[in-house]
């Protein structure tokens, strides 16, 4: 005989996950490191506050691979795999034959609709290079394409990764000031997108200025610093004009808009148009809407994570997210039908001059100077043959006839390059790809390099800067790419149907996001996922 209490518990526990949510909202905030989020948190009043206070909040998730970059970050969040499985190793990969880097999602057979490839902001066009299943792909297959998958972002590489092979990706193109998509996805813009673009919202920002949202006393530090970039003619101090220094709306003003928090407001309006246009959340089959906010990253690169601009961007994002959450709840027919996750693709370093001014051993590590020194060394070591080096973030690609025509032993060259690099100040280790899986991992820094390595796409020699060394060929601004905590530690929040609220201090991997969300959506994990569903997230877990 079943005891009444046990039976009652079973009856109460089951419905929580008996039916998938009608709508799943997958939010990423580009370059939102954990420390940046936590120090901004007290001033949140809207969407971010709602999620952090009401969701299952993991402040300490970790990107487990080098390089902590946008394309691999989004690919990992949505596939549950590291780059060694999904193949998206960085934003750009270098063609060894030419030594020229190109966008990782570039696919000349699937160009962008209405924007010629040679003028598009970035060359990302299709998910062809993505080698792992996404959560959206899994949803499409398991619902026989009844569950819709739509991804929107200020960046092509974010939208394309999140949409996977079977979803729809839309991203803002700064050359035309519109949201666009490519021929991989469709032959013609859907009518809702045409209607949205026809509103010309991007042009409306041309004559506006970006001023601080809160009273000046609410911002930490100083507004204008010498290591900030005067991006898109916006200046280094408030107020920032959004006209890009142009006389009429066009690519220059669209670029200024993209480096401002108003790009987030525009993205939310596009997401609302997609919710309505694609009728997301309207039936019992789960739909997936992914929204990646890019303005945070652009503000981070130009002004740094401690700037007034960054602080202001988060306070404004909080409001924009509030509007997005309200729209998603409405589309799903209430909170009870909605599941949300929010995370970030990576964090980011302070401007090295900022750290140095406080007494930390911080510097810029200029990849162009590194490549020059390396090419001189190669000439001296191998004078009879042509070997050339190209540095892309933490990867060194080797090319030239000496290697392509096998006039010199490749492994010997790669090991010579690794040896030279490891002797440079600012570099803690370097390894030839030949030795990546056999070299002893003394300090634990080879493990992230291994997880980030994909044969044929990654470099021939990989190196790791010392902490506080920021890889940058610019005289100002900052960057992200290492496995150090400031780049690699990101927040994850689950909220909504089936989620048990609470702050969880255990560290999780960013590969756990897709399997956990998959479980909340009543789906299995994506095919190549390495992470696991986090059991403490589920409301009916005991
Ligand atoms: Zn990013």
The Å distance, Cα 346 to ligand 1 centre, comes to 6
The Å distance, Cα 360 to ligand 1 centre, comes to 25
Q: What is the largest CA-CA distance in the chain?
A: 87
The Å distance, Cα 306 to ligand 1 centre, comes to 17
* pLDDT of the residue at 235: 97
Percent of the chain with pLDDT over 70: 95
Rounded Cα–Cα distance for residues 6 and 414 (Å): 65
The Å distance, Cα 290 to ligand 1 centre, comes to 15
**C-beta separation of 433 from 462 below 8 A:** yes
Q: Which residues surround ligand 1, an ion (CB under 5 A)?
A: 30, 70, 297, 345
List per-block mean pLDDT (blocks of 10 residues) for the chain, which spans 542 residues.
52 57 98 98 98 98 97 98 98 92 93 76 88 98 97 98 98 95 96 98 98 97 96 97 97 98 98 98 96 98 98 98 98 97 98 98 97 97 96 97 94 98 97 98 96 98 98 97 98 97 98 98 96 95 53
The Å distance, Cα 213 to ligand 1 centre, comes to 24
The Å distance, Cα 300 to ligand 1 centre, comes to 10
Rounded to the nearest angstrom, the gap between the alpha carbon of residue 229 and the centroid of all alpha carbons in its chain is 21
pLDDT 10s digits, 52-85 = 999 999 999 999 999 999 999 999 999 999 999 9
Rounded Cα–Cα distance for residues 312 and 6 (Å): 51
Taken in order of first residue, the domains within the chain and their CATH numbers are 7-93+115-198+264-354+489-537 (3.40.720.10), 363-467 (3.30.1360.150)
Name the phi and psi angles at 73, rounded to 5: -60, -45
The Å distance, Cα 335 to ligand 1 centre, comes to 29
Q: Strands 178-180 and 363-365: what pairing?
A: unpaired
Torsion of CA 241, 244, 246, 248, to 10 degrees: -80
* pLDDT of the residue at 115: 79
* pLDDT of the residue at 96: 86
Instruction: Give the residue among 186, 22, 181 at the shortest CA–CA distance from 521.
Output: 22
pLDDT 10s digits, 184-198 = 999 999 999 999 999
The Å distance, Cα 498 to ligand 1 centre, comes to 29
The Å distance, Cα 479 to ligand 1 centre, comes to 10
* pLDDT of the residue at 13: 47
DSSP E strands in 412-458: the ranges are 427-432
- Cα Rg, the chain, nearest whole Å: 23
Rounded Cα–Cα distance for residues 446 and 461 (Å): 12
Rounded Cα–Cα distance for residues 20 and 517 (Å): 11
* pLDDT of the residue at 287: 98
Contacts of 110 (CB under 8 A, 6+ apart): 125, 126, 128, 182, 183, 184
CB atoms within 10 A of CB 379: 13
Q: Strands 178-180 and 168-173: what pairing?
A: antiparallel
* pLDDT of the residue at 93: 97
* pLDDT of the residue at 422: 97
Question: For 261-283, b where at least 16 C-beta lie within 10 A, e where not — what string?
Answer: bbbbbbbbbbbbbbbbbbebbbe
The Å distance, Cα 384 to ligand 1 centre, comes to 42
Rounded Cα–Cα distance for residues 227 and 477 (Å): 6
* pLDDT of the residue at 6: 54
The Å distance, Cα 297 to ligand 1 centre, comes to 6
Instruction: Give the residue among 311, 320, 355, 318 at the shortest CA–CA distance from 217.
Output: 311
Long-range contacts of 239-243 (CB under 8 A, 24+ apart): 239/209, 239/210, 239/211, 240/209, 240/210, 240/309, 241/209, 241/210, 242/205, 242/206, 242/207, 242/208, 242/209, 242/210, 243/206, 243/207
The Å distance, Cα 478 to ligand 1 centre, comes to 13
Name the phi and psi angles at 109, rounded to 5: -80, -10
Rounded Cα–Cα distance for residues 101 and 449 (Å): 20
The Å distance, Cα 70 to ligand 1 centre, comes to 3
The predicted model scores a pTM of: 0.95
**C-beta separation of 260 from 242 below 8 A:** yes
Q: Identify the residue whose tokens are 């000496």.
A: 402
Instruction: Give the three-state DSSP class for 397.
Output: strand
């Amino acid at each position: 005989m079943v005891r009444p209490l046990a039976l009652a518990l079973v009856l109460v526990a089951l419905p929580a996950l008996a039916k998938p949510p009608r709508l799943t909202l997958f939010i990423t905030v580009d370059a939102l490191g954990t420390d940046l989020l936590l120090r901004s948190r007290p001033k949140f009043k809207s969407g971010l506050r709602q999620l952090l206070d009401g969701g299952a909040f993991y402040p300490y998730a970790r990107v487990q691979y080098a390089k902590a970059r946008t394309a691999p970050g989004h690919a990992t969040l949505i596939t549950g795999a590291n780059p060694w499985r999904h193949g998206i190793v960085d934003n750009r990969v270098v063609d060894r034959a030419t030594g020229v880097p190109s966008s990782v999602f570039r696919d000349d057979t699937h160009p962008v609709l209405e924007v010629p490839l040679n003028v598009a902001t970035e060359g990302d066009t299709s998910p062809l290079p993505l080698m792992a299943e996404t959560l959206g792909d899994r949803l499409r297959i398991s619902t026989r394409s009844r569950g819709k998958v739509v991804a929107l972002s200020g960046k092509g590489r974010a939208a394309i990764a999140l949409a996977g092979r079977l979803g729809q990706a839309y991203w803002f193109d700064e050359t035309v000031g519109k949201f666009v998509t490519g021929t991989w996805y469709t032959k013609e813009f859907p009518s809702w997108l045409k209607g949205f673009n026809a509103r010309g919202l991007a042009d409306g920002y041309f004559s506006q200025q970006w001023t601080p949202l809160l009273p000046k006393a609410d911002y930490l530090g100083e507004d204008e610093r010498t290591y900030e970039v005067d991006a898109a003619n916006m200046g280094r101090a408030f107020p920032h004009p959004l006209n890009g220094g142009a006389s009429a709306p066009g690519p220059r003003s669209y670029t200024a808009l993209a480096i401002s928090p108003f790009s987030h407001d525009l993205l939310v309006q596009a997401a609302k148009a997609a919710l309505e246009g694609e009728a997301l959340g309207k039936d019992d089959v789960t739909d997936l809407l992914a929204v990646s906010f890019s303005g945070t990253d652009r503000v981070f690169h130009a002004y740094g994570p401690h700037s007034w601009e960054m602080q202001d961007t988060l306070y404004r994002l909080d409001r924009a997210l509030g509007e997005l959450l309200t729209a998603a709840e409405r589309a799903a027919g209430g909170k009870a039908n909605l599941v949300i996750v929010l995370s970030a693709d990576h964090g980011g370093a302070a401007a090295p001059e900022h750290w140095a001014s406080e007494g930390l051993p911080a510097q810029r590590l200029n990849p162009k100077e590194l490549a020059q020194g390396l090419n001189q060394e190669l000439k001296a070591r191998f004078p009879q043959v042509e070997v050339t080096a190209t540095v892309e973030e933490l990867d060194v690609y080797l090319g030239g006839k000496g290697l392509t025509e096998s006039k010199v032993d490749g492994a010997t060259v790669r090991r010579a390059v690794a040896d030279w690099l490891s002797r440079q100040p600012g570099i803690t280790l370097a390894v030839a790809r030949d030795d990546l899986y056999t070299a002893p991992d003394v300090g634990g820094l080879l493990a992230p390099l291994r997880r980030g390595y994909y044969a044929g796409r990654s470099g021939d020699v990989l190196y790791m800067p010392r902490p506080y060394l920021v890889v940058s060929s610019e005289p100002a601004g900052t960057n992200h790419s290492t496995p150090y905590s400031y780049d690699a530690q990101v927040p994850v929040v689950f909220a909504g149907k089936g989620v048990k609220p609470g702050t969880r201090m255990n560290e999780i991997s960013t590969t756990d996001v897709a399997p956990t969300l998959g479980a909340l959506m009543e789906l299995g994990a994506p095919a190549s996922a390495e992470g696991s569903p986090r059991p403490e997230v589920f409301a009916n877990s005991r």
